[in-house]
Structure 1
Amino acid sequence: MTTFWLDRDDTRYADQVRRDVGAFEDSFGDFAPISFACAAWRVATTPVMSPPYVRWHRRILSATCVRNTWDGTLNAEVRIAAPLPGALTASRVWWRDRGWQGWPRVFGQFVEPSPRETATLPFLRASLLAQVPVPFEELPPAPSGPDEHLAATAGRALAVLVRELDAVIAPIIAHLEDAAAPR
């Protein structure tokens, strides 16, 4: 199962990097590749990139990369749509005929309920937050400034991040999908 992947159209991403070169400004010349990789991730997942260059499984609600404030290493935070915990599904006493709703889906994608829906129905949506240290040894070094290789270097950073996140998150998603499959 694949949970993270890159869009095939890397020219869209290269164009976005050229338009949003300021997103990388604070990372230029940094001896560690962390800030640069995080900037590459933000540019690849910005709402302006529709569809985003970094894609993910329908259960993944959000995925961000951040520099750990404790030691400067790279962390990812991945929010995953999950079923209700067993303590709530074992009994419906708490339900009290209110018609609780879970995650709405549009073409299989887990989505936030609309304001119209939440005005009339109660929603209880469970999610998991995976906070994952990401090895950064294979990340390309941050460039010293904007150059003709900026988009390619950012793309290499994304390839490393996508590979690492997929390796960590795929087993979780596979287990959730398997548990949700009809028996």
Structure 2
Amino acid sequence: MNMPEPRAFWIDEHFDREHDVDGRGRYEAEVLRRIDEFTPSWDDIAPVSFAATAWRIAAELEPGYVRWHRRILSASCTRSPWDGGMVCAVTVISRWPAELTWTKQWQRDRGWQDWPQMFGQYTTPSEQDVTRRPHLRAQLQVEAPVPLGELPPAPSGPQDQVASAARRAVTVLTRELNDLLAPMIGQLEAGVPADS
């Protein structure tokens, strides 16, 4: 029986509405507060810079408007200096590579530790932990293009519907990143090699 894929990314609309500011969602209020950060993208023929700014603001809210799986440490969406397209960079917590789990000989009885967990969340080892045992915390660095087809056009200026366009851009990016990374997160969570 196949387990459903976990979500890698999602938007927390519920928290956003519960903590609204002046009748606006928390994210919309933050976009309007930081409207000047969108200035370089006004009237841009490509939606990339606008969407990247919208994503950054969503990710910087505390807690984030965009949430991600406990295995994801960071996620950014930026304009590619190569061709102007959208690229993402996502850091994912991983198990040790198979070459290190095949045998424990390399550990030489030093008590190597993996990622510590607290209440199901991955954490950084404390300063005290590091003085007692060595830690090896594996990470995967995902860098990939993100399709632009459904991103909204960049507004022509602050008088446009900037907040709704930013919300739409974040929704599209969230869906695209979830489609890209949910299978990987599912495989890491399963902890078993994929079928050949």
Contact 1:61–1:110 (Cα < 8 Å) also in 2: no
Contact 1:23–1:43 (Cα < 8 Å) also in 2: no
* RMSD (Å), alpha carbons: 1.4
The alignment status of 1:24 with 2:38, answered yes or no, reads yes
Q: How far does the alpha carbon of each residue in 1:98-150 deviate from its partner, in whole angstroms, 9 at most, with x for none?
A: 22111122321222223343343321011111111110011001111113521
- Give the alignment's TM-score, normalised by structure 2: 0.86
Match of 2:20 in 1: none
CA separation in 1, counterparts of 2:36 and 2:117? 36
Contact 1:75–1:133 (Cα < 8 Å) also in 2: yes
Match of 1:44 in 2: 58
Structure 1: gaps of 5 or more residues: none
CA separation in 2, counterparts of 1:113 and 1:57? 19
The alignment status of 1:168 with 2:180, answered yes or no, reads yes
Q: Give the residue type in structure 2 aligned to 1:52.
A: G
CA separation in 2, counterparts of 1:23 and 1:103? 36
Paired residue secondary structure (2:150): coil
CA separation in 1, counterparts of 2:175 and 2:35? 24
Instruction: Decide whether aligned partners of structure 1 residues 137 and 97 sit closer, same or farther in structure 2, where only a CA change above 3 A counts.
Output: same
Equivalent position to 2:148, from 136, 147, 152: 136
CA separation in 2, counterparts of 1:119 and 1:66? 38
| C-alpha displacement of 1:179 | 1.5
Equivalent position to 2:9, from 4, 19, 27: 4
How many residues were matched structurally? 178
- Give the alignment's TM-score, normalised by structure 1: 0.91
Paired residue secondary structure (2:90): strand
Contact 1:27–1:35 (Cα < 8 Å) also in 2: yes
CA separation in 1, counterparts of 2:128 and 2:40? 41
Equivalent position to 1:53, from 50, 62, 65: 65
Structure 2: gaps of 5 or more residues: 1-5, 18-24
The alignment status of 1:156 with 2:154, answered yes or no, reads no
CA separation in 2, counterparts of 1:35 and 1:113? 36
| C-alpha displacement of 1:86 | 0.7
Q: Percent identity?
A: 48
CA separation in 2, counterparts of 1:94 and 1:21? 53
